[in-house]
């Protein structure tokens, strides 16, 4: 019966609309039906093009499956108010990936829409559930980047309208290709195979497209047809093999299209977890798709991109906000380097005041060039401000100076233009503070330390609680219109302008040694949070803290350290009226906080609103996210992605452990700087960009066109030095596999019959040695009774490195493998000696032993 006959008889067939095509739902494969919007349509015949929704009288209603709730359905509503937890909403509202990370202390997570499968496919796919091999999720598009949520709704590949790898433009191109293919079909061919053709074409939009098309393996060509599961391939071959050559220009497919076994073997994937359509039911691949991935403890998996290297204690990265998208990196010795958007560096420094800066080659010296910021109107006035240590006679001071850019070179400061705004005597050589920045109010903020030594011992209450001292304070200065008269003025609303004995520059007090502060740009849409100033304040001997700076407030030091009392008498003073930190952590987690930024960039929507910071001593990366309903801040640690999580071109999963500073580029993307040797003269500093491998912004959303930069210096091309560790990536050269297992964990299990509980992978690279090169001296400095370790000593065939002491214990992240080792001298390796259970220990760290392994025999050492 034709549609016309139905219309005349007064009965209505069950129709659906597929991207403007009127298709009788009964003719669509049963397992595919629930993936289409469920409609009632009237049309001429299934191949007729519908000019509008009204032509088919399509009415979006609830069918067997709610719209947008297919197997790869991403399960939170995009319409939740900014900053509030996503809530379950009535169908058929379109969902999006969640942004909020898990955290202890957070209210129970809202219920999510369950992924639904068609009834016919459900039994088939559930039957395979027990056979699914656990894998680490690695969503990746054909451009080797993470998936995204399309800006405009997809009209053709609607199964990936919430999250995938196609934007509206590519969706339209695939629909055009679909139309070209089905133009070759007759009525029955179209009715029986159009759905399959659509499915195959739309796998380019799958969040796992790179796996489906074998694109991540550079040793093989990208497939023209996605990798198919055998049963699905058999179904297509039996029903639609005539359509296969129309989808692919692969000559091999054309040769074997009539051979079911040969064709389906050709279309199989080596990694069966990713074959279509079974990957849709693989819970490890679909659970929390689009969210930031976490381990079992809620540690957020992020990745890094190396941006600059070979720097001497890089402690500031700033931009000029002038449209050029250059960034500037400052070294502790007093050099500032210019980097172009392509990450090439100018050979001549932007600023060189090394002769004036007071620092040394001692490890941990806190003096030096400590801060730099550009005037908000730099594009027009060319002014910038710096904070550095100087020696005047026998006195040490901190100096805040104004410079101007050269009139003949936009990439160099006029060194003769320096004007000293402020100098403050430092009674000791530490706690020098070092941050300068401009607030949204246009005023210059200066963050000073308490003057040094332990416990702020200066005066009755210390410098920090003394409003007549400039140390241990946040200062606010007006540096506009200072060409004549005083170099800075006091903002009229500074809180202590009219307080007798108080310095009018003081904006807030009671700080110990704030190291790295930042201004929140605010939510990109709502501007919520805009203008807040976040700081990390280094503690004494118990706690580190993070504060939000408010006018006139007392941040507690030396009465309090974190949330606890430090000076009990001051702490009991009822007039203290201090503001508590938004977060504090004990020294077992880290001993020197490095303040960070609230992420407000464009490229990684999941990170929006997340305050990311670190610890210099422990190398931890950490995050805080505000719960707007309570005002509390929820903590999640940040780990480097394990397995294939960071297996994207240019990404790495390791960094040097001494986190010195954080930075933001002109577009709001987030970076941090760390080093393997914490000395002002050691060229081991690296700048890393933080990357969320789980989700990116849609293509073209984050596009910008930098203004041209006139370069008068030679350019030094950036060459990355760091590499991804712990992952074997495909390469163009086939190499023979080792005859024995090169996996150290499996080797332990095989040789010892023991089991290990795996833990979070190494997140930091080992610190570089600071010892002088040369022969080792004999004497009492060597540990008595502890044998030297060599790569072959532990019995691992593919050892890269053997180590003892605290590198494999306290703060380094590498697991302790063997403890209580007792050897008689006849054993071939430490594995055959008597020892405690593998991976368990009760030792002091001087007893540790561990090994780092590789999968290649070429790096084996005896």
Condensed to tens digits (0 to 9), the pLDDT of residues 374-423 reads 999 999 999 999 999 999 999 999 999 999 999 999 999 999 999 999 99
**What's the pLDDT score for residue 317?**
99
pLDDT band at 825 (very low <50, low <70, confident <90, very high): low
Higher pLDDT, 695 or 830: 695
Is 665's pLDDT higher than 60? yes
**Cα separation, 554 vs 578, whole angstroms:** 5
CB 515 within 8 A of CB 574: no
Mean pLDDT of the chain: 79
Is 512's pLDDT higher than 90? yes
Cβ neighbours of residue 508 closer than 8 Å, sequence gap 6 or more: 473, 474, 495, 549, 550, 551, 552, 553, 554, 555
Stretch 586-604: mean pLDDT, rounded? 98
Polymer length in residues for the chain: 862
pTM to 2 decimal places: 0.73
Higher pLDDT, 120 or 712: 712
**pLDDT tens, position by position, 240-284:** 999 999 999 999 999 999 999 999 999 999 999 999 999 999 998
Phi, psi angles (nearest 5°) of residue 159: -70, -15
**What's the pLDDT score for residue 135?**
47
**Cα separation, 591 vs 611, whole angstroms:** 19
pLDDT band at 643 (very low <50, low <70, confident <90, very high): confident
CB 57 within 8 A of CB 32: no
**What's the pLDDT score for residue 764?**
65
Stretch 149-163: mean pLDDT, rounded? 96
Is 797's pLDDT higher than 50? no
**What's the pLDDT score for residue 575?**
86
Radius of gyration of the chain (CA): 31
Place of tokens 């150290």: 744
Q: What is the SS3 assignment for 282?
A: coil
Is 845's pLDDT higher than 80? no
Higher pLDDT, 592 or 778: 592
Is 843's pLDDT higher than 70? no
**What's the pLDDT score for residue 642?**
87
**What's the pLDDT score for residue 726?**
76
| C-beta neighbour count of 612 within 10 angstroms | 22
Task: Give the rounded distance of the alpha carbon of 423 from its chain centre.
Answer: 39
Residue 368 burial by CB count (10 A; 0-12/13-18/19+): exposed, middle or buried?
buried
**What's the pLDDT score for residue 684?**
97
Stretch 507-519: mean pLDDT, rounded? 98
**pLDDT tens, position by position, 714-732:** 999 999 999 998 766 554 3
Higher pLDDT, 71 or 454: 454
Stretch 226-250: mean pLDDT, rounded? 94
Q: Are strands 21-24 and 15-18 parallel, antiparallel or unpaired?
A: antiparallel
**What's the pLDDT score for residue 849?**
56
Domain annotation for the chain: domains and CATH numbers: 3-81+91-286 (no CATH), 300-716 (2.120.10.30), 735-770+784-862 (no CATH)
**pLDDT tens, position by position, 209-219:** 999 999 876 66
pLDDT band at 826 (very low <50, low <70, confident <90, very high): low
288 CB-side CA count, 13 A: 18
pLDDT band at 838 (very low <50, low <70, confident <90, very high): low
Higher pLDDT, 819 or 474: 474
**What's the pLDDT score for residue 87?**
34
Long-range Cβ contacts of 146-149 (<8 Å, 24+ apart): 146/648, 146/692, 146/693, 146/694, 146/695, 146/696, 147/207, 147/290, 147/695, 147/696, 148/695, 148/696, 148/697, 148/698, 148/699, 149/74, 149/78, 149/96, 149/97, 149/290, 149/605, 149/695, 149/698
**What's the pLDDT score for residue 791?**
40
pLDDT band at 822 (very low <50, low <70, confident <90, very high): confident
Is 669's pLDDT higher than 80? yes
């Amino acid at each position: 019966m034709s549609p016309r006959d139905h219309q005349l008889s007064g009965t209505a067939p069950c129709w659906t609309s597929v991207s403007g095509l009127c298709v009788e739902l009964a003719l669509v494969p049963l397992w595919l039906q629930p993936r289409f919007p469920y409609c009632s349509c009237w049309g001429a015949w299934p191949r007729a093009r519908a000019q509008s929704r009204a032509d088919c009288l399509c009415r979006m209603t609830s069918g067997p499956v709610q719209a947008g709730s297919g197997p790869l359905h991403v399960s939170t509503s995009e319409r939740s108010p900014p900053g509030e937890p996503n809530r379950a909403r009535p169908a058929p509202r379109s969902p999006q990936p969640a942004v909020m990370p898990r955290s202890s202390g957070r209210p129970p997570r809202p219920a999510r829409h369950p992924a639904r499968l068609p009834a016919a496919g459900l039994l088939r796919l559930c039957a395979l559930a027990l056979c699914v091999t656990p894998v680490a999720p690695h969503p990746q598009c054909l451009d080797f980047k993470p998936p995204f949520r399309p800006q405009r709704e997809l009209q053709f590949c609607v199964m990936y309208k919430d999250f995938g790898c196609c934007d509206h433009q590519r969706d339209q191109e695939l629909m055009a290709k679909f139309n070209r293919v089905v133009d070759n079909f007759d009525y029955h061919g179209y009715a029986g195979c159009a759905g399959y053709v659509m499915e195959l074409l739309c796998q380019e939009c799958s969040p796992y497209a790179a796996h489906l098309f074998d694109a991540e393996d550079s040793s093989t060509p990208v497939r023209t047809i996605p990798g198919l599961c055998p049963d699905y391939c058999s179904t297509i071959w039996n029903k639609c093999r005539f359509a296969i050559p129309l989808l692919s220009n692969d000559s091999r497919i054309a040769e074997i299209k009539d051979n079911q076994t040969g064709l389906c073997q050709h279309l199989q994937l080596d990694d069966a977890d990713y074959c279509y359509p079974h990957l849709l039911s693989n819970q490890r691949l679909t659970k929390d798709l689009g969210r930031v991935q976490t381990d079992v403890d809620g540690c957020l998996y992020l990745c890094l991109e190396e941006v600059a290297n070979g720097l001497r204690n890089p402690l500031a990265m700033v931009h000029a906000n002038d449209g050029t998208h250059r960034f500037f990196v400052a070294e502790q010795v007093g050099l500032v380097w210019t980097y172009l958007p392509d990450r090439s560096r100018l050979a001549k420094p932007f600023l060189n005041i090394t002769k004036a800066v007071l620092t040394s080659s001692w490890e941990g010296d806190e003096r030096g060039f400590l801060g730099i910021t550009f005037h908000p109107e730099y594009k027009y006035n060319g002014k910038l401000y710096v904070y550095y240590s100087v020696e005047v006679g026998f006195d040490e001071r901190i100096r805040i100076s104004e410079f101007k850019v050269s009139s003949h070179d936009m990439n160099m400061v006029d060194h003769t233009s320096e004007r000293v705004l402020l100098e403050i005597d430092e009674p000791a050589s530490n706690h020098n503070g070092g941050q300068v920045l401009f607030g949204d109010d246009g005023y210059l903020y200066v963050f000073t330390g308490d003057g040094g030594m332990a416990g702020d011992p200066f005066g009755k209450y210390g410098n920090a609680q003394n409003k007549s001292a400039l140390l241990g304070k946040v200062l606010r200065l007006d540096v506009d219109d200072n060409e004549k008269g005083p170099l800075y003025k006091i903002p009229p609303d500074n809180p202590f302008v009219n307080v007798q004995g108080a310095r009018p520059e003081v904006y807030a007090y009671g700080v110990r040694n704030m190291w790295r502060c930042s201004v929140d740009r605010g939510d990109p849409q709502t501007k919520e949070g805009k203008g807040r100033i976040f700081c990390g304040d280094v503690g004494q001997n118990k706690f580190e803290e993070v504060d939000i700076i408010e006018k006139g407030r007392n941040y507690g030091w030396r009465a309090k350290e974190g949330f606890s009392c430090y000076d009990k008498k001051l702490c009991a003073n009822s007039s203290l009226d201090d503001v508590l930190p938004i977060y504090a952590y004990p020294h077992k987690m880290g001993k020197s906080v490095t303040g960070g930024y609230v992420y407000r960039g464009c490229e990684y929507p999941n990170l929006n609103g997340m305050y990311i910071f670190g610890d210099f001593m422990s190398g931890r990366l950490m995050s805080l996210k505000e719960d707007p309903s309570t005002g509390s801040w929820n903590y999640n640690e940040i780990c480097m992605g394990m397995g294939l999580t960071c297996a994207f071109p240019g990404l790495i999963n390791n960094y040097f452990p001494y986190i010195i500073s954080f930075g933001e580029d002109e577009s709001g993307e987030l970076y941090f700087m760390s080093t393997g040797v914490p000395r002002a003269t050691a060229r081991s500093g690296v700048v890393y960009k933080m990357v969320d491998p789980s989700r990116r912004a849609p293509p073209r959303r984050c596009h910008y066109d930098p203004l041209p930069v006139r370069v008068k210096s030679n350019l030094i091309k950036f060459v990355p030095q760091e590499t991804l560790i712990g992952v074997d990536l495909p390469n163009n050269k086939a190499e023979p596999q080792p005859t024995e297992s090169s996996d150290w964990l499996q080797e332990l299990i095989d040789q010892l019959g023991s089991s290990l509980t795996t833990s979070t992978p190494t997140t930091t690279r080992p610190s570089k040695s600071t010892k002088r090169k040369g022969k080792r001296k004999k004497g009492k400095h060597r540990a008595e009774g502890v044998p030297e370790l060599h790569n072959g000593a532990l019995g691992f065939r593919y050892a890269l490195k053997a180590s003892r002491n605290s590198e494999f214990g306290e703060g380094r992240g590498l697991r302790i493998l063997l403890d209580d080792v007792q050897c008689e001298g006849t054993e071939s390796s430490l594995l055959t000696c008597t020892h405690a259970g593998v991976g368990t220990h009760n030792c002091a760290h001087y007893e540790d032993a561990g090994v780092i392994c590789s999968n290649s025999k070429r790096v084996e050492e005896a």
